[in-house]
Amino acid sequence: MDLQLHRVTRLVRDYHATLPWKAIHIAGTNGKGTTAAYLSAFLHGKGVKVGRFNSPHLKYRHDCIVLNEQTVDKDLFLEVERLVKLRDSEAKLDSTSFELLTATAFEIFSQQKVDVAVVECGMGGRLDATNILLPEEVLCCAITGISLDHQDMLGDTLEKIAAEKAGIIKTGVPVVINSHNQKSVLSVLKARAAACGSPLSESTASDEEPLSRLSRSELAVGASSQENLAIATRVFEKLSQPGRFDVSPLTKADVVSAVAQVKQTWKGRLQWEDLARLATSQSTAERHCLLDGAHNKEGASRLRAYVDQVIAATPRPVVWIVAMSSGKDADEVLSQLIRNGDGVVACEFGDVDGMPWVKPHSAKDLIAIAATKTSGTTLTAPNPVSAVRAAFTHGPEDALVVIGGSLYLVGQVLRDLDKHA
């Protein structure tokens, strides 16, 4: 993968020396997308015309771009994408797929006259295509949880990865970081902020206002989601300071409304979904399954912690449906997810639209690793629908079926669900 900024800089800056909207720029290994979702919901609730750019897409290629909490119209997306590709061709830039996508998102935000766009890095930060944002265009930066992922591109230690993520910190622009990161990571982030003269705030999930006044039912589901919500509220606090951006401070009602909005619209993360219609039988019985795109050690650990909470409240066996991208450390992830006695069905997701370089890990290899973690039933299936059917057929009727290991797997299951509507 060719990580450089000169091509996307031309694609955007040849037409917008200064972007006509302000940005909130977010990097991190886990949680950056959820943090972005909370922030756009906050802004929308305040009447701000807001855009959001997430990476990767979930179900369909255009769903990574959101305008005022609605997925961008597909026809508008394709029209602007054609324009961006024409610019790329005329300038003979040969931009990457993600660079073209980033330029498309930025052009849509410009054409639709958003006030603020919440922009999530694709990978890393320093050389990520989104990092062509100028200091005067950015209201605040945020860096969420950092863990080992994409080591082949970002470095083989947490500190090296943190340095790449810290590359989004802009001179003089406030930055909010997740205080739950390891001390060595925090040191890297703080050093970068100091070098840039950027006011730095650490966010914790326990004491942010107005989060401390929310009931358990009003809070986000899962510890990581609560951390991301805390980061989002701290970022918004920076925005609402005098002279930064004309928006009133968050109230408890604002946060409760945004959490409800994100629970409803932000899919693929601790998502409960009835998958009964993917079964071959004509049974009308509901089969509510848990879907989460956990794809690295930290994400898998947090997913397992949530599963343990669920089965502690309602004891039942667990059956996993897993697929992973090629190149991921399957043993590391599966060691976090699987407990002895769990059932496992391994499968492979199909082609990922707009991301031809993404390939699935061999299901045969995944199940061989899974079989070393459990004495439960282990099976392979050729695709996600077959895997769901195998889990329903060969697993206990009362089993909690959990789909994880890759956001691409979750996205395909949701697309398959659309086809069976």
Domain boundaries, the chain: 5-260, 271-419
Question: CA separation (Å) from 38 to 41, 217, 242?
Answer: 5, 17, 22
Residue 226 and residue 269 in contact, taking contact as beta carbons nearer than 8 Å: no
pLDDT score for 96 = 93
User: Hey, what's the torsion of the CAs at 101, 102, 107, 108, to 10 degrees?
Assistant: 70
In the CATH scheme, what is the homologous superfamily, with its name and number, of domain 271-419? Mur ligase, C-terminal domain (3.90.190.20)
CA distance 181 to 165: 13
Helix (H, G, I), strand (E, B) or coil at 216: helix
Instruction: Please report the sign of the dihedral spanned by the C-alpha atoms of residue 111, residue 231, residue 268, residue 273.
Output: negative
Q: E strands, 153-296, where?
A: 175-178, 200-203, 271-274, 288-291
The pLDDT profile of the chain, 421 residues, written as one tens digit per residue, is 677 899 999 999 999 999 999 999 999 988 899 999 999 999 999 999 999 999 899 999 999 999 999 999 999 999 999 999 999 999 999 999 999 999 999 999 999 999 999 999 988 889 999 999 999 999 999 999 898 777 677 778 999 999 999 999 999 999 999 998 999 999 999 999 999 999 999 987 655 555 555 555 555 555 567 889 999 999 999 998 888 898 999 998 999 999 999 988 889 989 999 999 998 766 668 899 999 999 889 899 999 999 999 999 999 999 999 999 998 899 999 999 999 999 999 999 999 998 888 999 999 999 999 999 999 999 999 999 999 999 999 999 999 999 999 999 999 999 999 998 7
- Residue 27, phi then psi, degrees to nearest 5: -125, 170
Domain 5-260 and domain 271-419 have a common topology = no
User: Could you tell me if residue 336 is left (phi over 0), alpha (psi between -120 and 50 degrees) or otherwise beta?
Assistant: alpha
pLDDT score for 367 = 98
347-370 pLDDT, tens digit each:
999 999 988 889 999 999 999 999
Residue located via tokens 């009003």: 218
Q: E strands, 79-186, where?
A: 116-120, 138-143, 175-178
CATH 3.40.190.150 holds for 5-260: no
For the whole model, what pTM was predicted?
Answer: 0.91
Return the ∠ at Cα 15 (arms to 47 and 153), rounded to 5°: 85
Determine the residue type at 393. T
